[in-house]
Structure 1
Amino acid sequence: MKFVVQPAPVVSIPVAGGDGHFPVRRIYCVGRNYAAHVREMGMDPDREPPFFFAKPTDAIVVSPASLPAQIAYPPATREYHFEIELVAAIGTAGRNIPVERANDHIWGYAVGLDMTRRDLQITARNKGRPWEPGKSFDQSAPISLLHPASSTGHPAGGEIWLKVDGRDRQRSDLDSLIWSVPEIVSNLSTYVELQSGDLIFTGTPEGVGPVERGETMHGGIAGLTDIEVRVV
């Protein structure tokens, strides 16, 4: 096949232990999935149906296990915020997936950061416009190494935390998710046919806030490789 321009490279995430790479097809994100975070954003945390937004695949920045990844402070914002999240990686395609079968479609898990230009997001939200300028930009999806569910199981609880330059900023437990990971997978599959290579960022707990140039974010989830990212 002859391309008229150079095709983009395949985006992939290394698997922990050096056992291959996971190719990324799409990135879905769940909004407002921890009650305390919903409250800090000025919303009502009632258990309404989950809603989703997307990021471009090339927003992925892999945080290796040995040293911090680097991401650039993005343009057009003065409020660059971190959001630590559990990420589920889809390994088996499906549509209208029952909740009780959802884990069968998950290949593995990672720790992710849903980086956000908060001022742009809030402006768009208040005007009833899409969130893309605040959420879907370059390097907005840092991620740790990926762990297969065959080795970790399917986490329904466990500490999730983030520090900035050694100071606690976010700390909660996965059992505080409003919608569990199987419920998220099931619900999303009623809107789109999930495919191998899809990632789902499952929501962030309370404590989101700004990060500045020169600061380092270090976060983790029980049982998974930590993520460490420096803003330059």
Structure 2
Amino acid sequence: MLQTRVIPVLLLGKMGMVKTIRFKHPRYVGDVVNAVRLFNDKEVDELVVLDIEATAKKRIQFDLIEQLASEAFMPLTYGGGITTADEVAQLLRIGVEKVVLNAALFTHPKLLSQIAERFGSSTVIASVDFKKNVWGKWQVYSHNGRRATGIHPVDFCRQCEAQGAGELLLHSIGTDGTMQGYPVEMMQQLAAAVSIPVIACGGAGSLQHMQQLAVHSGMQAFAAGSVFIYYGPHKAVLINYPDAATLRRTFDQ
């Protein structure tokens, strides 16, 4: 059985399902319900849906998320606009398996521990969104990359682990949507800083980018959007996902 997890990430924006570059310039890429159905056909093992507008709107689209959960044949993880443990309870009731926190890690600092205590650490993922600031120093950002926190990513990863996160989503803002690869050295540092599972996200343009990071860091989980949404040099929108044999050839080496 393949140990490496390769997870498509779908972004919800004002227009519907979108793709971004460095957390900016959202481009409409289709209907999210249809995308979930297509990933079903491709036998994806798990799926992440992030609503990048939910925090600003202060509203979780429960009806849509319930529809997605009912359509998905695989475990569904959701992030966006979560501020209370009761909202997490509702998401779990409608079929979500895990939740992702980002802005709430700063605006509601006790929420991560509350969720872990009430539902178990395996239910909650902390999203660590990071990039270099104007002085070239690594820093964590919140609110869809708009707010600098002044915290180094390594320190923040350790803090999230101590507060009860079951996993970390390590999201590289600087390479998001570029399909040019990960910031390997920083990903290595973050993976080594904690003992809980980590998921690399932001920059994958091929399975080889994931495989190279796996070799250098020991990471076993990779989330990506563009590589599973776009096809060809002109980035035509085409939902795609490698078959099981291709995944085994790539990672079981």
Same fold (TM over 0.5): no
Higher helix share: 2
TM-score (norm 1): 0.25
TM-score (norm 2): 0.24
Of structures 1 and 2, the one with the larger relative CO (CA 8 A, separation 6+) is 1
